Structure 1
Amino acid sequence: MFKFAFIENVPGSSPENYSFVYENDESYSLVTGTSSFEMTEELIKKLDKEGYDLIDLCGDFGEEAAAKLEESVTGKMEITYADYLPDELAKIEALDSLKEYGIVIVMDGVEETQKFSLKSEECNTYVHFVKDLDAAKVAAKELVEQQGVYFLELCSYFDKKETLEVIAAIEGKVPVGSCGDLK
């Protein structure tokens, strides 16, 4: 079974009060918030011991933090972080608030889109697990048009080509970052 986690930086949050698990026959996924680098590092060590395969970090972590967190890993777990193409980076830097946050994750074993949310005073996160790129574009449009997210981040499935397709699907209405390779 593929074990995956998406970790976001949310002030005042911890895996005990800001998380959920989505599991199907092929994958086990944890989405959670942490409120400090130290908390994230401890969580990464725990997930490494539990045999997680992949950790995607929100864009607030960046390259340096992801590299430092990879140093804590003893197993084969990969760690990626959300990054932004230059135009998308300019859009996110111009935002006044990051409170409404959307995440789209392509995951094995998903047939119908699975929708979850995490809410706090600091951040409302809306997560859609989907089966493929076409479903991801539909999910992104829904997150923007119906949930009113201020920005989207995509899991590491999305390389530059797929990320650009999602941006086109939402007509560039909100910034979009990806944990995949944007080069």
Structure 2
Amino acid sequence: MFKYAFIENVPGSSPETYSFVYENDESYSLVTGTSSFEMTEELAKKLDQEGYDLIDLCGDFDDEAVAKLSKSFTGEMGITHADYLPDELVKIEALDSLKEYGIVIVMDGVEVTQKFSLKSEECNTYVRFTKDLDAAKAAAKELVSLGVDFIELCSYFDKEKTQAVIGAIEGKVPVGSCGDLA
């Protein structure tokens, strides 16, 4: 079973107060918020010990944070963070609010798009687990219609797939990806 986590930085949150698990026959996925680097580091170590395969971090984390976190792992767990293509970076830096946050994750074992949300005074996160790129594009359109300020994609989304999502939503909100954008 593939074990996956998406960790976002949400002020005032913790895995105990801001998280959910989605599980199917092929995958186990945790989406959660942390409110400090130390809390993220503690959680990442725990997930490594629990045999997680991959952690995707929101765009609030950078290459330096990923490198620092990776040093504490004892297993083979991968870790990456959301990044933005140049045009998308300009768009996200211009935003006044990051409160309404959309996440799209392509995961094995998903047949029909699964919808979850986490809400707090600081951030409302809307997560969509999808089966493939076409379903992900549809999910991104739906998130835009809900009024998200921006969307981040899991590491499934390379540059070409990320651009396909940006095109599907007609560039209406900034889109970042944990995948390779080179």
CA distance in 2, matches of 1:73, 1:94: 35
Residue aligning to 2:140: 140
CA distance in 2, matches of 1:148, 1:63: 29
How do residues 68-79 of structure 1 correspond to structure 2 at under 5 angstroms? Answer: 68-79=68-79
**TM superposition shift of 1:48:** 0.3
Which 4+ residue blocks in structure 1 deviate beyond 2 angstroms?
none
CA distance in 2, matches of 1:94, 1:166: 20
**TM superposition shift of 1:62:** 1.1
Output the amino acid matched with 1:129.
Answer: F
Unaligned runs of 5+ in 1: none
Give the match's secondary structure for 1:48: helix
Residue aligning to 2:103: 103
**TM superposition shift of 1:109:** 0.1
How do residues 32-43 of structure 1 correspond to structure 2 at under 5 angstroms? Answer: 32-43=32-43
CA distance in 2, matches of 1:181, 1:166: 15
**TM superposition shift of 1:165:** 0.1
Residue aligning to 1:116: 116
Give the match's secondary structure for 1:177: strand
**TM superposition shift of 1:95:** 0.2
Output the amino acid matched with 1:80.
Answer: T
**TM superposition shift of 1:72:** 1.0
Question: Structure 2 length normalisation: TM-score?
Answer: 1.00
CA distance in 2, matches of 1:152, 1:72: 29
Residue aligning to 1:49: 49
Unaligned runs of 5+ in 2: none
The farther-off stretch of 61-70 and 31-40 is 61-70
Identity of aligned residues (%): 85
Residue aligning to 2:153: 154
Output the amino acid matched with 2:152.
Answer: E
Give the match's secondary structure for 1:80: strand
